Structure formats: structure tokens, C-alpha cells
Chain A
Amino acid sequence: MADLPTAPPRVMRRGVSLAALLKLPMLPVLLVAFLALSVSIDGFVSAANLANMARLFAPLAIAAIGLTFVFLLGEIDLSIGSVLSLASVLGALTMRGTASVWLGVMVMVATGALIGALNGAVIAWFRFSAFVYTLGVLVTARAIAMLITGGHSVGRLPFGALRFGRGTFAGLPWLLWIAIAVYAAAHLFLRQTVIGREIALVGANRRAAVFAGLRVRRARFTGFLVSGTLAGLAASCIVLRLGSGGPILGDNILLMAIAAVVLGGTSVFGGEGGAFRTVTGALVVVTLDKGLNLLGLAFYDQAIVMGLVIVLGSALGGYLYRRRTGRA
């Protein structure tokens, strides 16, 4: 990797000191929002509310980290929400049929991995447009989930499912542990493995990547495989927490995950970004969603505030980032 002809993208150069942490575009917004909400809402920082938020955060962060891989490649995966729905239906049916929670979780992750692998293969080798192709998968996967259950959701799962989904370990919700583990794995994978670095390099400059002999197809395949697999894992988190899977369960995930990824500071055009940024982006989304709700605003007024924060917050974050790094 040392003799790459291109300048390595910033994702690799970034130092990991506290100063570097402060460069995260959304960190100031997150801190301000969190402080403001803590002061104005009774019990916002109570254990119950934080655990509650952690359970909302976990599946969103997991799905968004998967999407980060695809964004790093400069591609897009619109299918994650539907894959999540289909996986949740198959997983919930398995749990109900076999009374085994773990078999259900495995089915969900496998469903995600399978669709992700298919997406990756088709996009990497046949050069399908990722946008239109994954849009086709979005529509089809949701329709299949709908056909399987006749539109109903699948509940009445084994008791162990909820005990895990609502349970805690060492004071933290189980789901949060899963999210932390996924983040750690994604972070190390992107930084420490050859293929992880190649993903960002391919996205940074496709032309150069080809001439540098990078395995572009393998990188692309891996990105979509990760995105699908993590959508399946996110499905498990939601099913374990709610005790139900369904064909429209993932309908809201796509836009929220895109928001988390881009708010975190990962570029839409590839090459720049990372898992930790997405974690901060997901934190912003969940904090605002929950906080504005707790403030008791009408839902359209919540939307107004959320929209303003997305625009002005990103602008502020970008401004601070440019000032610190001395970029024009």
C-alpha cells in the first residue's frame, strides 16, 4: 500500500488525537443540542431515557455504518430499508416456527448478506447503475415481504427475543453493545485491512485506482456485501426490541440512515468519510428525533426545527472544520 501513486485520502491521514475528534463536523451541534435538551427537558439524561435512546440508536447506527461503506465507494444502496423489512419477516417467521431466537437472528443476517452479495456482484461485475438497480431491489424486496405475510407483521415471538432486545448487560442495553461491536469492527476493517483501505481509495479516485492495480471489483462487492449484512443485523436489533417483524418495518430507515451518514461528514461522492463520523451523525438524528418529541412540539414543528438543524448545523460544522484545518 505504501507506493500508491495517488495521495491517500484524508480518511487515512487523520490523526486520532482529541483535536482530531473535534474536527467531526457534527460534534458541536451534537453537544449543543444535547446540553440544550438536558436543560429544557426533565429526565432527558435519566437512565431510562438514555437506554431508550440507545435502543433507537443501535439499529440506525448499524444500518448507517453499512451504508457508509457504499458511500465511501462513491456508490449508493437504496435497498437497505427493504432488505431490513424482508429480513425481519423471514427472521420473525423462523423464530416463531422454530422457537429459536438465534436461528432467527442468523436468518436475518444471512438474508441481508445474501441480498448484499447479489447487489455487490451485479454492480461490480455487470456494471449496473447502483441507483436504479438498488431501487429495483428496494421495490421488489418490500413487495416480496408484503406477499409473504399478506401485509401483516409477524409477532408473538419466543419470549427470549424480547428479553434480549429490552435487556441490558453491564448496565448498557444489549443492542448498544452490538452497535459498539459493529462500529469497532467497521472502524478496524476500514483502517487496518487492505481491502478496507481500498474501498476508500476506489471511491476517492476510480481512474487512479484502476491504474494502481487496486481490485476495484472486489472493493465494490465488499462494500455492498457489508451494507446488506448490516441491514440484516439492524433488522435483528429491531425485531428483538419490538418482538415483531414486518414488511414496512424498514420504510423509514433509508432516509434516516442517509441523514446519519451525510450529517456525520461522509462524502456522497466517495473517498472521504468513516464509521466514527456516521456514529456521530446517527447520534444527532436520534437525539433530535427524541428530544424534539419530548419537548412536545407538534410533529410538523419538529420537522421545521429538524430541517433547520440539518442545514444550519451542517453549515456550522463545515465552517468550524474549514477554519481549524485552514482550508479555503
Chain B
Amino acid sequence: MRKAYLQIGLAAALLTAPTAFDAASAKDITIGVSFDKIEPFRVAEKKALTDAIEAAHAKMDFANADKDAQRQASQVDTMVSQGVSAIIAIPWDIEAANDLARSTIAAGIPFVSLDQALSDLKSVTYHIGGDPCADGKVAGEFFVKAAAGKPFKLLELQGGLANDNGIRRSRCLDDALKAAPNITIVAQVPTDWNPQKALDGTENALQAHPDLAGIYAPWNDALQGVFSVLKAKNLLLPVGDPKHITIVSIDGTPLGCKAVRDRLIDLEIATPLPEMSRRAVAAAIKASQGGKIEPQAEFLPGIPYGPDNVKAMASKIWGCQG
């Protein structure tokens, strides 16, 4: 029995042994960046942010929470205790991040949320992001116009069931479609943002509804899976062909822009990535120097473009550069 207690004591000692000293405060401006996850779009986002931070002659301290709210909280707390000048975070859990942002700000460090808004915008120093709801609505209105009052069967690929951006892109599309009873959503397929699942979902929906008229692919990576199915069914036809299936996508990556240029999709809604990053970095630096940020939250709606105006719009779309 006594020995058992000894082991318990040792376990406690192991955990608590050394203490003391904190990291020295940074002399130059270091921005702590915490991403919710790394996937192809985030890789592009990280690049845009890195460019913006370099352009501002600041340093970056990067961490990836890898889809874990606890890890993100821990990483941000670490950055705070290391004395970064400001935090820019893409929150994974939009509720948990409220308290994380408040405690960061309480420690005297500005907290900027990027891309994904928190459930309570007032908890952050500044938010800059896209507007998933506006994007979904634009997509919905486009389908309403494309259907032109005739019966129209739509497949909706659903990004993330527990992801706020995914939920809003889906719900606001549905809301916009309510005005048009001629449009039926024949399937909403959960995909976890995975192109393989987008492929299977498209194949199955086409099986159930060979007369499918439209596909909503709310992230660019899904397009590869969609195209693969359409090609196998000889339905990968350019915009304007009578048998063409209307496709709307969101993101504005190089592959998305290419699909528009190849006239394979009707509408793409590009997230203004470089602009978002620039504003996030500018706000983080300004706030760290005691400046006040006005307005406190900005939502940049996506830039819609299609095959007909891609030439004119290319300069504004990050994926169309180079």
C-alpha cells in the first residue's frame, strides 16, 4: 500500500518538477500564426500570409492545430507565453476560440481571426474573412437564373458537416434556392472536403438522376472528382453545350481558374486570399503597436467570375495569376 502511494507521488513529481523563467519578449514584431489544419487550400493560404508578413518586415511563428481545438488552444497559449506581438488564427472550433481570443487579448496581445469567423465576433481584435453565406447565396442565385423557371435537378456536395464555413456555404445556397420551387436538391452528399468522396457522391447522384442539371461543388478540389465522373459518362462538355451540366464552385485556386478558362464550369467564386492576408497582417501589426482597428470585422465577399469574363477578371483572381 505504501509503495503504491510512492508511485503516485513520483508520478506527480515527474509532472511538476522544474519551473521558473519565462521566454524573453521579442524585440521585433513576431506574429504568431495558428492554422486549424493543413490541406491544399491552406497551403495556398499560408503562402499568401507568409508573403504578407515578409512584405511587412515582420517575423512569423507558425503552428498547425491539425483539426484539434485543444491543440490550437495550447499552441496559442504557448505563443502568448513566448511573447509574440500578435496572433493571427484560423480557428478550428469557433466557440472555443472565443475564450481563447479573450484570454489572449486580456494578456495584452491582439488576436486576429482569419478566414473562419468566430461565433462571437466581439471576442477578437479584428476579423477578416470571406463571406461563406454570401458566396452560397451568389451560387444559389446563379442556379435560379440558369434554371430559368424550368425543372432543375441539383446535386449539392457538402464540405464539412461540423465546419462553420461548410455549413454556411450549404445553408445559404439552400435559402437562395427556396425562391425557386422548380429547383430540387436531389442529394446532399457529405464529403469531409475529400475529392474521392465527391467523386463517389457525383457518380451515385448521376445514377439516381441521369437528368441531373447542376452540381454545387463548394470547394475547388472537389472538381477533379466531379470531372472524372462526367468524363466517364461523356458529360464533360463545355459551357454552352445543350447537355452541359451547370457547375458552380468556390475558392479561386489555380485549378479552379483553369476549369473556368477551359469553359468546364459556369461560375467560380474566388476568395480574395492575398487581400485577406494583407489586411490581417496590417491589423495585427497596427494593433500590436497600440493602434485601434476600424472596422472591427470585415467580410470580403468572393469575386464571382465565369468563362465569359475570366479575361477581364483575371487580374483580381489569385488563382489566375502566373
Residues of A close to B73: CB separation below 8 A = 241-242
Spell out A's residues near B (CB within 8 Å): 15-17, 21, 38, 42-43, 45-50, 52-57, 59, 146, 150-156, 162, 166, 171-172, 176, 180, 183-184, 187-188, 191-192, 238, 241-244, 246-249, 251-252, 276, 279, 283, 289-290, 293-294, 296, 299
B200 CB–A CB distance under 8 Å: no
Q: Give me 6 A-to-B residue pairs in the complex whose CB atoms sit less than 8 angstroms apart, sorted by A's number.
A: A15-B3, A52-B74, A183-B11, A244-B98, A244-B99, A248-B67
Closest to B164 in A: A152
Residues of A close to B309: CB separation below 8 A = none
- Beyond the given pairs A46-B21, A50-B16, 11 more chain A to chain B contacts, judged by CB atoms under 8 angstroms and listed by A's residue number, are A15-B3, A42-B23, A42-B24, A45-B19, A45-B20, A192-B4, A252-B66, A252-B67, A293-B71, A296-B61, A299-B38
| Given A16-B6, A242-B73: A146 in contact with B21 (beta carbons within 8 A) | no
| Given A153-B95, A299-B38: A48 in contact with B22 (beta carbons within 8 A) | yes
Q: How far is the CA of A314 from the CA of B82 in the complex (A)?
A: 32
- Docked-complex contact A156 and B162, CB < 8 angstroms: no
Interface code B89-125, partner A: CB below 8 Å = 1, 0 otherwise? 0000111101110010000000000000001100000
| Given A21-B10, A43-B81, A183-B11: A50 in contact with B19 (beta carbons within 8 A) | yes
Q: How far is the CA of A55 from the CA of B15 in the complex (A)?
A: 11
- Docked-complex contact B66 and A299, CB < 8 angstroms: yes
- Docked-complex contact A155 and B98, CB < 8 angstroms: yes
| Given A48-B22, A238-B70, A293-B75: A156 in contact with B11 (beta carbons within 8 A) | no
In-complex Cβ contact of A54 among B15, B94, B119, B160 (8 A): B15
- Docked-complex contact A52 and B96, CB < 8 angstroms: no
| Given A21-B10, A43-B82, A155-B98: A146 in contact with B62 (beta carbons within 8 A) | no
B145 to chain A, nearest CB (A): 29
| Given A50-B19, A192-B1, A276-B7: A243 in contact with B161 (beta carbons within 8 A) | no
In-complex Cβ contact of A153 among B23, B62, B74, B93 (8 A): B93
Q: How far is the CA of A48 from the CA of B3 in the complex (A)?
A: 31
Q: How far is the CA of A184 from the CA of B4 in the complex (A)?
A: 8
- Docked-complex contact A46 and B103, CB < 8 angstroms: no
In-complex Cβ contact of B15 among A45, A57, A154, A241 (8 A): A57
In-complex Cβ contact of B96 among A45, A55, A244 (8 A): A244
> Size band of the B side of the interface?
35 or more
Residues of B close to A290: CB separation below 8 A = 74, 78
- Docked-complex contact A243 and B99, CB < 8 angstroms: yes
- Docked-complex contact A155 and B95, CB < 8 angstroms: yes
B183 to chain A, nearest CB (A): 23
- Docked-complex contact B64 and A299, CB < 8 angstroms: yes
Residues of B close to A153: CB separation below 8 A = 69, 93-96, 162
- Docked-complex contact A16 and B3, CB < 8 angstroms: yes
- Docked-complex contact A244 and B7, CB < 8 angstroms: no
Q: How far is the CA of A146 from the CA of B64 in the complex (A)?
A: 25
In-complex Cβ contact of B95 among A244, A252, A293 (8 A): A244
Spell out B's residues near A (CB within 8 Å): 1, 3-4, 6-8, 10-12, 14-16, 18-24, 38, 61-64, 66-71, 73-75, 77-78, 81-82, 93-96, 98-100, 103, 119-120, 160-164, 167
| Given A16-B6, A21-B10, A47-B19: A249 in contact with B69 (beta carbons within 8 A) | yes
Q: How far is the CA of A143 from the CA of B178 in the complex (A)?
A: 27
| Residue among B7, B19, B66, B100 with most chain A CB within 10 A | B7
| Given A166-B103, A241-B70, A246-B95: A172 in contact with B1 (beta carbons within 8 A) | no
| Given A43-B23, A43-B81: A56 in contact with B71 (beta carbons within 8 A) | yes
The 8 closest A-B pairs by CB, nearest first: A155-B95, A16-B3, A48-B81, A244-B95, A244-B96, A243-B99, A242-B96, A43-B23
Residues of A close to B68: CB separation below 8 A = 251-252
In-complex Cβ contact of B99 among A162, A188, A294 (8 A): A162
Residues of B close to A171: CB separation below 8 A = 16
- Docked-complex contact B8 and A184, CB < 8 angstroms: yes
- Docked-complex contact B18 and A50, CB < 8 angstroms: yes
Residues of B close to A184: CB separation below 8 A = 8
Q: How far is the CA of A38 from the CA of B18 in the complex (A)?
A: 10
Closest to B23 in A: A43
